[in-house]
Structure 1
Amino acid sequence: MCERVARHCDGLRANGHTHGLMDMRGIVVAGTHSGCGKTTLSMGLMAALSRRYRVQPYKVGPDFIDPSHHTAICKRPSVNLDTFMMGVDGVREAYARYSADADISVVEGVMGMFDGMDTTEIASTAHVAKVLNLPVVLVVNVRSMSRSAAALVKGYVEYDPRVDVAGVILNGVASENHERLVREPIEALGIRVLGAVPRVRELSMPSRHLGLHMAHEGSLDVEQLRSLIEEYVDLDCLLELAHSAEVPLPDEDDEQHEHIRLGVAYDAAFCFYYHDLLEHLRRSGASLTFFSPLRGEVPEVDGLYIGGGYPELHAHALEHSPTTSWIRTVAEDGMPIYGECGGLMYLCERLAEGEDTHAMCGVLPATTTMTKRLMALAYVEAEVIRHNAIMQRPIKGHEFHYSITQCRGDARLAYRLRGGVGIRDGMDGLVEHCTLASYTHVATFDPTHFMESCRRYART
């Protein structure tokens, strides 16, 4: 990149601090709709910029998979920004915390730019862009379009004037003449076209029922992505468009905590975690120990957190893992255990898919059966109606699964849901011993009760 860009990014490093505000520059990459190439181009931009600069990646919404690719590309943890689950202040605080030592931040949007909860803007890319006062780069797939693309872009620019659509990247360009037919009408509207990227079939990423493959599965050619962006996108102009987001500096937690040892299941079967939630647990007194049920690891800990993932793809290995029987033993002994979605499936008695059935931990009186269709995809609010060792206060979360969990008659459920499906009858959160597991994923919650339960277990 040219010296002009280098000087510009030197300026990005000089983040100013005034009156409790931090001045941090970034861009939001939005799309006209799902499937327009937003994810591929976002990753390409991250890869191209990371060659010389410290890029802090973010993902709008409750996604676990795209952030795994961001993290691998930028060598910095990607952080989810969700105005429903985290609230406006939570989004601003997370952005300030993780962007503090970055040169530039790149926020990948979700779905179409204005798609939020129901008919509202909440949890949409546009809402996050407004909350952070960041410029938007709009990705438009122009396949089978020419002048009509200008009408589409004009609509996105004018729909909500409070969203700063600073430029457009054209995706799926068929030829130089096709680019001219699309570019000229858009630029006649006074809107910058930052790049025109041809369709490259080899860059399509494989997917499964919960989305794309995770980064550790090695399905993405990062070098090809980087080269594509460097050849077809004007990075000089894009960097100049990135402007400041004045957000409040996060308060430092000076409280001294009695640390507890919290085991976090982490491997190919359990890999769905929000980075900011793990950091929040650390700040609340948890010393995190990552362990792999697939490798039969048994950590010395005072509590467990088993996140979502793909236990159904590894059911045979989990059935025969020493970790599985150990979890049953420590659960019966009263160790606090929190499970989400895949963690719920693992903590049940059995996991079935077709004619195959595998014994799981046997902590919860239920069996999970995989389905061929999506059973739930929604934001949820949960009221805690049954005492448990993990949650005391209402939570906001997200539900997304291709399975059903059938409970025995004596099963106890802790949550009454608003929105979502849950385990049965609008209820979620199975409770047994000091274990709580649900289909609901949460991006943040008050861990005070969970930490105290772990401390009591450690003392006994």
Structure 2
Amino acid sequence: MACLIAAPCSGSGKTLLSLAISSLLRRSGASVQVFKVGPDYLDPQLLGRVSGRPCRNLDRLLCGEEWLQRAFHWWGGQADHCLVEGVMGLFDGRGPSADGSSAEVATLLGLPVVLVVEASRQAGSLAALVRGFRDHQPGLELAGVVLNGVSTERHRALLSEALASIAMPLLGVLPRHPDLSLPSRHLGLLPPDELQGFQARSEEWAALAERNLDLERLLPLLAPPPPLTICEGRTRDPIRWCLERSAQTPADLECGGSRGDLPVAIAGDAAFHFRYPEATELLTALGLTPLPWQPLADQPLPRDCRAVILPGGYPELHAAELAASQRSQSDLRRAAAAALPIYAECGGLLLLGQQLEDPLGEAHAMAGLLPFSARRGSLQLGYRQATPFADGLVTRRGEALVGHEFHRWELNDTVVDGSERLWQLEGWGWAPRLEGWTTPTLHASWLHLHWAGCSAICRRLRDAAALATPFAETAETPADTAVAAPPWSVGASS
């Protein structure tokens, strides 16, 4: 059975170890399926690149326990090897609980844990630390430890003795070296497209694993999972199961056919790349054709598109280039004026505002479709329960959803009343607030949703796209059209 790679805290080396193992396995000619606990977008991009397969997120809070089981066994069972990278510290979950934590996922899936410990400033205290993690949750198996940041053979010997004193297997020792650090910025690690010499790095990671890990002990902990018994006689493909679960009528499962081809433009470049692979797979299963669109390159919207999806990302780092992308912005305004469905999350939301400040505080003009400007603020991070106030493009009144918020930019709103907001957000230790915009053709919010946990969204987007006019058939709008508060924008984030 596979293992879950965890740590006492963030920054200990979970991703480095996962990258090293995955690189080595792929170099050897074997296939490996990697999973990531939690709602992260950036680690999975790195892990997916080195493994050659989409890294799948395992998040019970966003997607539910049965999805977690089905996704793990379905995709994990299709590879020669399988591993799961945890999130934060082993027992860190929502608020002070282990709800949604790596430990919870390991328990639900029956996985042993490999603990990565940053040991550069430890010696005998390592035994107390590891003993605490081993004994904290009875029934959770700690299969062994990998040490990170070890500088000398003497240091290694000290740490080895400490682990031997509590009969804990040592599965590897990663050396302390500045070249092994992974570059990061305000929302996490750099994506693979921005890492220079990524292929060379992958080869270095493989060599790191080969030289420093006890592969004889580790490989049995990387076995793929067996087929899931609850799937016997039922749909096994998690994507199909997800759609069947939320279907209310047979028409809900129609894929293309009488509905025809429904192209949807999906922004995808250095500014907009926070996407889960299941989102595209769900859309495709429902007969929508994803069309790549790069606003940062000032590309025109695809002529045939009937809807637009603006994912999250780093538009604040590319605000000047986006402001200069006049064709892309003009096409976005034209699509909005023609009532093409527009779905925007987090960074995608920022493209719809009046202005966006870059990290230096310089303001740049955006599409001007929503009445706000955005600037750097305090970190907003955590799971949120969202309760919509009215029916919208993809939401329904009172139909609560769970999403994840993670951003450092904030909105300066021009809307002062609280009427017809998208929804109320609530989270642990966090005051409820009204947030977002919605209409029959618009969804714009800070909140990231995993569509595997709310697949009705895909169906509603499909139905709206089926009613829309292809972009090429819509009327041209003046390039300088910018509406401060268009009739169909009905709320703002506070």
- Per the alignment, residue 40 of structure 1 pairs with 16
Q: Could you give the per-residue CA deviations for residues 117-168 of structure 1, whole angstroms, max 9, x where no partner exists?
A: 1122221111111111112111011122122111111111111122221111
Number of equivalent positions? 433
Provide the C-alpha distance between the structure 2 equivalents of 1:48 and 1:433, rounded to a whole number of angstroms.
Answer: 49
Q: Give 1:44 shift.
A: 0.9
Identity of aligned residues (%): 34
Q: Which residue of 1 aligns with 2:264?
A: 262
Aligned to 1:137: 114
Residues 286/311 of structure 1: CA separation in 2 closer, same or farther (3 Å cut): same
Partner in structure 2 of residue 426 of structure 1: 433
- Quote the residue 1:311 is aligned against: 315
Change in Cα spacing, 1:407 to 1:49, as seen in structure 2 (3 Å) is same
SS in 1 for 2:120: coil
Moved more, 274-283 or 207-216: 274-283
Contact in 2 for aligned 1:265/1:306 (Cα 8 Å)? yes
Q: 1:385 aligns with which of 389, 394, 407?
A: 389
Q: How does 1:322-341 map to 2 (within 5 A)?
A: 322-341=327-346
Which amino acid is 1:315 matched to? Answer: A
Change (3 A) 1:421 1:237: closer
Quote the Cα distance in structure 1 between the aligned partners of 2:288 and 2:135: 47
Q: Which position in structure 2 is the counterpart of 1:404?
A: 410
CA distance in 1, matches of 2:331, 2:207: 48
1:314, 1:142 → 2: CA distance?
Answer: 38
**Match of residue 6 from structure 1:** none
Give per-residue Cα distances to partners, 1:87-132, cap 9 Å, x unaligned.
Answer: 1112112212322321111211111101011122221111111111
How far does the alpha carbon of each residue in 1:189-229 deviate from its partner, in whole angstroms, 9 at most, with x for none? 23211111111111112221111111110255222221111
Give the counterpart of 2:182 among 205, 211, 230: 205
1:315, distance to aligned residue in structure 2 (A): 1.4
Show the counterpart of 2:364: 358
Q: Distance in 1 between matches of 2:383 and 2:149?
A: 32
Aligned-residue Cα RMSD (Å) equals 2.2
The within-5 A match list for 1:93-242 is 93-219=70-196, 221-242=201-222
Measure the CA separation in 1 of the matches of 2:139 and 2:224.
16
Distance 1:282 1:191 in 2: 47
Could you tell me which amino acid in structure 1 is paired with residue 193 of structure 2? H
C-alpha distance in 1, partners of 2:154/2:361? Answer: 55
Distance in 1 separating the partners of 2:374 and 2:86: 32
What is the SS of the residue equivalent to 1:364? coil
Q: Which residue of 1 aligns with 2:276?
A: 274
Residue 183 of structure 1 and its aligned partner are, at CA, apart by 1.2
| 1:384-417, Cα deviation, whole Å (9 max, x unpaired) | 1122112223211111111111222278521111
What is the alpha-carbon distance in structure 2 between the residues aligned to residue 197 and residue 54 of structure 1? Answer: 24
Q: How far is the alpha carbon of 1:40 from its aligned partner?
A: 1.2
Q: 1:449 aligns with which of 460, 465, 489?
A: 460
For the 8 Å contact 1:135–1:242, the answer to whether it is kept is: no
**Mapped pair 1:348 → 2:353:** yes
How many Å apart are 1:49 and its aligned residue?
1.6
Return 5+ residue gaps in structure 1 as ranges. 1-24
TM score, norm. by length of structure 2: 0.83
SS at 1:257 equivalent = coil
Structure 2 residue aligned with 1:21: none
**Paired residue type of 1:261:** P
Match of 1:116, SS state, is coil
SS in 2 for 1:39: helix
Q: If each structure's strand is expressed as a fraction of its own residues, which one has the higher value?
A: 1
**Are positions 1:394 and 2:370 aligned together?**
no
Secondary structure of 1:324's partner?
A: helix
Say yes or no: does 1:439 pair with 2:446. Answer: yes
Moved more, 179-188 or 252-261: 252-261
- Mapped contact 1:172–1:197 kept (Cα < 8 A): yes
Q: 1:244 to 1:135 in 2, by over 3 A?
A: farther
CA distance, structure 2, for counterparts of residue 98 and residue 363 of structure 1: 40
User: Which residue type is aligned with residue 381 of structure 1?
Assistant: Q
Higher mean displacement: 237-246 or 217-226:
237-246
Aligned counterpart, 2:477: none
Structure 2: stretches of 5+ with no match in the other structure:
245-252, 474-494
Call closer, same or farther: CA 1:181–1:196 in 2, change over 3 Å.
same
What is the match of residue 288 of structure 2?
Answer: 286
